[in-house]
Chain A
Amino acid sequence: MAIIPNNHMTTNFEDKLKIGKYSFKSRLIVGTGKYPDFVTMQKAIELSGAEIITVAIRRIDFEQKENMLSFIDQDKYTLLPNTAGCFTAEDAVSTIRLSRELGIFKTDLVKLEVIGDPKTLYPDNEELLKAAKILVNEGFTVMPYIIDDPIVAKKLEDIGCPVVMPLASPIGSGLGIRNPYNLKIIKETVSIPVIVDAGVGTASDAAKTMELGVDGILMNTAIAGATDPLNMALAMNYAVKAGRLAFLSGRIPMKLYASASTQMEGIVF
């Protein structure tokens, strides 16, 4: 399996991201928002190496001449509808049901977010749990966006969500991981995959996040909002893979003092 595009390095292990009955080679999920145009979006998605891409469900804009769908190869990418902008369980559930009527999604994967506050875009746990229960019962594979709270993560696992998606920091903030310890606790608390959704600002954030041992990252603004979104998409592609490989490879322990990498034996002077 080629780990990095245009690079000779290969590894011989299969390392797939499993979400319910689905499995993916890429551990990076990308959003489609905030791009200057659909062509840039399309190229950035390709360079990111992502296989799952998130989309919103919105009223048709009759002024919009271009059809977003024509820029997405659905044989190559899994489209993940989201409930962005929903503030109640009822609205989120209706949005997902409406998305199902579109008839364009090839999987039952849905990204569930129920926002509790417009300033922080933090989720409303109570409404989120309510919506997750309903959607899981209706047969959807629910991927909930959560605050970095191990308790709510466990509750969602118990409800039947096959993944939880805690934030690293607020959506679009680019602050990176504000509480790596909570992400580690969540990873230890649940036995389902943990995908960090939101907060990554740059490639080092992505690598550090993956080095914590989480299973994947979902990001949008960090790529779309970069000065050069295409190269940032590639940087994130590398960073997620590098972080994952570093995690699997087992980093050296940190020590206070030096440990010579050159042997002393045989020294002349």
Chain B
Amino acid sequence: MLIYVNDKEINLNENLTIAQLIDSLNLNIKSTAAAVNKEIVPKAKYAEFILKDKDRLDLVTIAPGG
């Protein structure tokens, strides 16, 4: 299936969770927050939230700012 991660197209296997995707991208789950189709997903749900075809996933963290 195809999903968009931070607007980038990524091809994934079916039934992948947010937690698995974060892990596969070598990101630290502790400093990552996620929204799917602009809906914020609580961190406690990452391990059970299964991504669907054409989902738009935003993965965020802290960045420099004033």
> Which residues of A come within 8 Å of B, CB atoms?
31-35, 41, 54-62, 67-69, 79, 81-82, 84, 94, 97-99, 101-104, 171-172, 198, 218-221
Out of B33, B42, B63, which one reaches A55, CB within 8 Å?
B63
Question: Knowing A101-B42, A102-B33, A103-B43 touch, does A62 contact B25 (C-beta < 8 A)?
Answer: yes
Q: How far is the CB of B65 from chain A (nearest CB, A)?
A: 3
**Which residues on A sit within 8 Å (CB–CB) of B34?**
101
In the complex the two chains form, is A60's CB within 8 Å of B40's CB?
A: no
Residues of B within 8 A of A94 (CB): 35, 38, 40
A61 to B64, CA, bound (A): 12
Number of interface residues of B (CB under 8 A): 26
Task: Count A-B pairs with CB separation below 8 Å.
Answer: 99
Known: A98-B33, A103-B43. A60 touches B60 (CB 8 A): yes
**Chain A residues positioned under 8 Å from B65 (CB to CB):** 31-33, 54-56, 58, 82, 84, 220
Chain B residues, Cβ within 8 Å of A97: 40
Measured CB to CB, the closest approach of chain B to A195, in angstroms, equals 13
B32-A102 in contact (CB<8A): yes
A79 close to B62 (CB less than 8 A): yes
**A102→B66 contact, CB < 8 A:** no
Contact B66 A84 (CB under 8 A): yes
Alpha-carbon gap, A47 to B46, bound state (A): 39
Residue contact A56 to B33, C-beta cutoff 8 Å: no
- Apart from A35-B64, A68-B62, list 7 A-B contacts with CB within 8 A: A56-B62, A56-B65, A79-B62, A99-B33, A171-B66, A172-B66, A219-B66
Report whether A33 and B64 are in contact in the complex, using a CB–CB cutoff of 8 Å.
Answer: yes
- Top-10 shortest CB links A-B: A56-B65, A31-B66, A220-B66, A58-B63, A101-B33, A55-B62, A33-B64, A59-B6, A102-B33, A32-B64
Residues of B within 8 A of A57 (CB): 33, 60-63
